[in-house]
Chains A and B, each alone.
Chain A
């Protein structure tokens, strides 16, 4: 039971409406078509917001699902209606880009637990008529992938040509390959890992505690009182943002440079450029992201440990896989370091899977996967071209 609707933009209260009635496409599932969650609960009715680019071919064999990261959204290659900014991966996705929408049909959906149209803590709980807040069951990466699989069913696609994503998006890619091996022809997890490490969880906990320490958080019921824990959420974003960059890139970009002043003020203003930059990052983030959503989505990442689902063995997660894998990591990424990708590669080798692995030299830390890194583009283009050849669909390079 589902229906497709496309809502027109309204300039008033745009952001608040995006979590209920997004500007993007929307698939809705009624109470009798609930989503079964890892927590043991059923979620329904529920909805998933998504965007598509390019054209699905007649055989339905050219669909690529792009999975977004923690604070990403479905607007991978189109303007985000809240920020008015270009899509978050326009360097990679678009006509003539590495994920070429002239040739591939690209789908990107907002994750379950998100706040841009897919059911999340900012959505209205149909059984109470008020915003879910913490009444929403805790979501896992596998739940996000289950929701995406339902969307892919809804679009009438049995096998995805590729599932691609960075960071938390890469976790979803690995989960897709493990949960639905026959539905994933090629998988590209970038700057990802098959589990969240203790250090990863630690940073997320700092962020969550910052949100919960904000008096406006009100045990997650801030919507009722029409306030927002913006200070806490901004601090969470600031702490997280540091983990996305490398020491080297911070040093190059900011060094110890002072912000709009010639001398230290002997106070606690943003004397340093890095302070000013982080404050700006925090402040702009709260305009586009819901604090409870941040709690849910970080929790989903923390709970992710793919091996655990398969009796403690990552090898079992990929047993008999026919999927072609291409993993990428970045030398300066200390949040999802190369060693994490390499342990996935080792598990894939143990089943003699078809796997490529490229470690890319970049000094820009975890965020490299979102940036202008030519080797990332070349690897993506080359891998997809080889996979398209194997799949028997025309690849961009070989098209006339």
Chain B
């Protein structure tokens, strides 16, 4: 889904590359000039060993090194909720990329709401499997929260795609408040 938002031959920075699956796909299928940043050294080493240009780095600390508008597309997949300063990170993304693709889990998904409402416990689902005390996800938000942040940062939401847990596009059109309940995650294409 993220890949479909990236134009052919674009200069791309993928933040949170993990084992490089997305970057590899983009390099092969979309012929991008791709770079990656990955937090875990083991992940970086795996990426470089498969021929991808990836450095060890931290979205909170290392984005300030890059020049303005250095990339056609900057991608942040399922990582924003794990950053220390999501607003600062978002603002850096919008500075270094002409377009920004962000995917986030939706904390306001109905299953999470139910767990909080009926069990009175922090939600633990297959998709968000951590307990509150060991989760790397320290800044959850709902889709509506995220859209509000974009507005605050003067970012235009070019596209927004609601997804199921498996990453499939939810094939019905619905108003945002519905998606904020039924979508487990969403992908946003932003510009400033």
Contact = CB atoms under 8 A, between A and B. Distances in A.
A355 B71 contact: no
A312 interface: no
Contacts of B45: 358, 360, 375, 378-379
Given A357-B44, A358-B45, A375-B45, A385 B67 contact: no
Interface stretch (A117-125, A196-204, A286-294, A344-352): A344-352
Interface residues of A, number: 26
Contact of A381 (B33, B49, B62, B66): B49
Contacts of A354: 33, 35, 53
Interface in B28-81: 33, 35, 41, 44-45, 47-56, 62, 65-67, 70-71
Given A358-B44, A358-B45, A358-B48, A352 B71 contact: yes
Q: Is the interface of B mostly helix, strand, loop or mixed?
A: mixed
Contacts of B47: 356
Nearest to A352: B70
Contacts of B66: 349-350, 352
B41 A359 contact: yes
A382 interface: yes
Nearest to A360: B45
A352 B74 CA distance: 12
Contacts of B55: 345, 349, 355-357
Nearest to A375: B45
B40 to A, nearest CB: 11
Contact of B67 (A346, A350, A378): A350
Contacts of A383: 48, 51
Given A350-B67, A351-B67, A379-B45, A386 B51 contact: yes
Contact of A324 (B49, B53, B70): B53
A386 B27 CA distance: 10
A351 B96 CA distance: 11
Contact of A326 (B35, B48, B50, B70): B48
A382 B35 contact: no
Contacts of B53: 324, 326, 354-356, 386
A259 B130 CA distance: 54
A136 B99 CA distance: 56
Interface string A332-356: 0000000000000110011110111
Contacts of A251: none
A23 B192 CA distance: 63
A382 B50 contact: yes
B48 A382 contact: yes
Contacts of A6: none
B51 A382 contact: yes
A253 interface: no
Interface of A: 324, 326, 345-346, 349-352, 354-361, 375, 378-379, 381-383, 385-387, 389
24 contacts: A326-B48, A345-B55, A346-B62, A349-B55, A352-B71, A355-B35, A355-B53, A355-B55, A356-B47, A356-B52, A357-B54, A358-B44, A358-B48, A359-B56, A360-B45, A361-B41, A375-B45, A378-B45, A382-B50, A383-B48, A383-B51, A386-B52, A386-B53, A389-B51
